[in-house]
Every structure is written in structure tokens, then in C-alpha cells.
Structure 1
């Protein structure tokens, strides 16, 4: 991957740190919900992510918040279309959270 593509992925990830899980109050990056950022040749973005539970009632809200967070990068034509793929393999667990998220939620760091 080129340095330019990696920098763009890093900018996408930085924007995703502004998206908060409405139930937990911690951003989706620190929660460990983002599995991968894919960029195609036209810089269309696919965010591959999971949720803390399969039955998460706020999945639509989180997807909408992701698209809104990345809309600024779209407006300045750094990225193209945004797609969000929600997967449940591997399943999310608390070990995927950053130290920050664990501290914010009072989860023991095992």
C-alpha cells in the first residue's frame, strides 16, 4: 500500500474517533469496533466493523454517524463513496477495547 493510501486510511480512522457508541458513550475506534478500512482505486471507502451485540438497536444510528463523520472528507474530495459493512466474525469482546475505553467504562484490564 502506498504512503498516500495509508495516510488517507489514517485520516478516515481519525474521523471515526468522533463517532460515539450512543449506549456506551465511547468512540467506536477505542471500543475496538472497527476491524478494517478498505480503499479502492477511486478512494471509495468501505468500513468493516462489528457491534457490541448482534441485536444492537442503534446499528442504523451508528452507520449514519459514520457516514456523517466521513462526509467532510467527501466534500473536499479526499474520498469517494462510503459503505459500512457490519460483520460478526470475529465476535467482539472486551479485550478488543483500548486501554482508554476500558478506563472510561470501568472494565478490568486483564
Structure 2
């Protein structure tokens, strides 16, 4: 996983919480699935900017996944504003799945 960040420690903590957010259709968490692209932390204004994607632009569970992502970040960082950007460049592909995720999926 190559998640861009400006704060490794906070990113690791955020990813720990996000590892409990699953894509309900696949059953794999969004971190191992490779859906989180970037996490930036603005300590001065208590903001987290998250760039993430979905497996397809037309994912029927997209709203649930983004809501759960926002809820997880809010739980991990209470009082912080969460700014979530859903992006499709680069397009998600199977190579973005972590080795643990591939093992989970039997690939």
C-alpha cells in the first residue's frame, strides 16, 4: 500500500480504524482493498483530508463505504473535520490489494 500522507503516525492510527471498514460486497476492509489513496492532516485547523476511491464508479455500496469511512475517521479523531474526496484517477485495480487482502481473497 502506498498511501500518501504528511504524518505517518497519524496515518497509521487512522488506517487502524479504517481497517474495520469493509466493502460489504467483497468482505475485505478498504485499507487492504487499496481504496485509500491519501490522508493529510491539518493540525492547525484540525482537518483530515482523505482521498479515496471505490472498485468501480458505479459501486452500489459506494455511499455506505464513504459514510463508514467518514464515521471511522470521526471516531478516531473526534472534533476533527473530515473532508472526503472520492476520486477515480488513478482507477482502482486488483494490483492495489495488499498481500493480506490477496490471501483473504484466495489469490
For normalisation by structure 2, the TM-score amounts to 0.85
Aligned residue in 1 for 2:4: none
- Deviating beyond 6 angstroms after TM superposition, the runs of 4 or more aligned structure 1 residues are none
1:70 Cα shift?
2.0
The CA distance in 2 between the partners of 1:99 and 1:74, in whole Å, is 28
The CA distance in 2 between the partners of 1:7 and 1:42, in whole Å, is 18
The CA deviation string for residues 43-98 of structure 1, in whole angstroms up to 9 with x for no partner, is 311110111011111111011111221222333x4xx1112111111111000101
The CA distance in 2 between the partners of 1:67 and 1:88, in whole Å, is 18
Correspondence 1:52 to 2:55:
yes
Structure 2: which 5+ runs fail to align? Answer: 1-6
Structure 1: which 5+ runs fail to align? Answer: none
1:28 Cα shift?
0.3
Compare the two structures and name the one with the higher strand fraction.
Answer: 2
Correspondence 1:70 to 2:73:
yes
The CA distance in 2 between the partners of 1:58 and 1:102, in whole Å, is 21
Root-mean-square deviation over aligned CA pairs: 1.7
1:33 Cα shift?
0.7
The CA distance in 2 between the partners of 1:83 and 1:15, in whole Å, is 16
Aligned residue in 1 for 2:26: 24
For normalisation by structure 1, the TM-score amounts to 0.83
Q: Give 1 or 2 for the bigger CA radius of gyration.
A: 1
